[in-house]
Amino acid sequence: MRSPMAARQKPTVTVIVPTFNREKFLPEAIDSLLRQTVAPDQILIVDDGSTDGTGTVASSFPAPVEYYRKENGGKSTALNFALKHCKGDFVWIFDDDDVAHPTALERFLAAFEREPEADFAFGEYARFQRSAQIEEQNYEIVAFGHVSQDNFFPSHLEYCHVHQPGLLVRRECYEEVGGFNETLVRSQDYEMMLRLARRFKGVRVDGLMFFQRQHDMVRGSTKVVISYANRIKAWGSYDRAIMEEIYRSVDLHEYLDRSEQALPRTADLEMQALLQRSSIMARKGLWHHAAEDIRRYALLAERAGKTSLSDKERAIVRRTFEAYDTGLSSAPADEFVSAVKAWKSGPLKADIVREYMHSFPHYLARDLKAGKVIPASKLLREYSTLSFSALVSRLCQAMTSKLPSARSAS
Mean pLDDT taken over the chain: 87
Which pLDDT band holds residue 364 (cuts at 50, 70, 90)? confident
Angstrom distance (rounded) from CA 349 to CA 173: 43
In the predicted structure, residue 14 carries a pLDDT above the cut 80: yes
Which pLDDT band holds residue 391 (cuts at 50, 70, 90)? very low
- Say if residue 404 is preceded by a cis peptide, omega within 30 of 0: no
Q: Are 46 and 20 in contact (CB under 8 A)?
A: no
- In the CATH scheme, what is the homologous superfamily, with its name and number, of domain 13-242? Spore Coat Polysaccharide Biosynthesis Protein SpsA; Chain A (3.90.550.10)
Q: What is the pLDDT of residue 217?
A: 59
Specify the higher pLDDT residue, 56 or 234: 56
Q: What is the pLDDT of residue 46?
A: 97
CB count in 10 Å sphere of residue 352: 23
Backbone φ and ψ for 345, nearest 5 degrees, come out as -60, 145
Question: How far from the centroid of its chain's Cα atoms is residue 301's Cα?
Answer: 30
Region of poorest pLDDT, from 3-7, 41-45, 136-140: 3-7
**Dihedral of alpha carbons 33, 235, 328, 242, sign:** negative
CA torsion 19-24-25-29 (nearest 10°) is 80
Burial of 132 (0-12, 13-18, 19+ CB in 10 A): exposed
Region of poorest pLDDT, from 108-122, 193-207, 231-245, 331-345: 231-245
Which pLDDT band holds residue 345 (cuts at 50, 70, 90)? confident
CB count in 10 Å sphere of residue 204: 18
Domain spans of the chain, in order of start: 13-242, 253-401
Angstrom distance (rounded) from CA 403 to CA 30: 50
In the predicted structure, residue 65 carries a pLDDT above the cut 50: yes
Once rounded to an integer, what is the mean pLDDT over residues 37-57?
A: 95
Region of poorest pLDDT, from 5-14, 85-94, 204-213, 223-232: 223-232
The bridge status of strand 140-142 relative to strand 120-128 is antiparallel
Q: What is the pLDDT of residue 408?
A: 38
Specify the higher pLDDT residue, 4 or 387: 387
Region of poorest pLDDT, from 114-118, 176-180, 284-288, 332-336: 332-336
In the predicted structure, residue 184 carries a pLDDT above the cut 90: no
Angstrom distance (rounded) from CA 156 to CA 255: 10
CA distances, 155 to each of 88, 240, 276, 315, 397 (Å): 29, 16, 10, 12, 35
Backbone φ and ψ for 118, nearest 5 degrees, come out as -70, 150
Backbone φ and ψ for 180, nearest 5 degrees, come out as -70, 150
Q: Are 338 and 328 in contact (CB under 8 A)?
A: no
Angstrom distance (rounded) from CA 193 to CA 154: 12
Angstrom distance (rounded) from CA 387 to CA 49: 52
Q: Radius of gyration (Cα) for the chain, nearest Å?
A: 23
Specify the higher pLDDT residue, 332 or 71: 71
Q: Which residues pair with 213 in a beta bridge?
A: 128
Angstrom distance (rounded) from CA 260 to CA 301: 19
Q: What is the pLDDT of residue 202?
A: 96
Region of poorest pLDDT, from 38-52, 66-80, 176-190, 280-294: 176-190
Q: What is the pLDDT of residue 224?
A: 57
Q: Show the DSSP H helices in 69-224 as ranges.
A: 75-83, 104-114, 132-136, 152-158, 171-177, 188-199
**Dihedral of alpha carbons 144, 149, 150, 156, sign:** positive
Q: What is the largest CA-CA distance in the chain?
A: 73
Specify the higher pLDDT residue, 4 or 221: 221
Contacts of 286 (CB under 8 A, 6+ apart): 240, 243, 244, 247
The bridge status of strand 90-93 relative to strand 13-19 is parallel
Once rounded to an integer, what is the mean pLDDT over residues 242-257?
A: 95
Region of poorest pLDDT, from 31-45, 152-166, 170-184, 209-223: 209-223
In the predicted structure, residue 193 carries a pLDDT above the cut 50: yes
Q: What is the pLDDT of residue 183?
A: 85
Among 275, 264, 347, CA closest to 305 = 347
Q: Tell me the HSE value of 118 on the side-chain side, using a 13 A CA sphere.
A: 23
Angstrom distance (rounded) from CA 293 to CA 283: 14
Angstrom distance (rounded) from CA 196 to CA 160: 13
Question: How far from the centroid of its chain's Cα atoms is residue 404's Cα?
Answer: 34
In the predicted structure, residue 230 carries a pLDDT above the cut 90: no
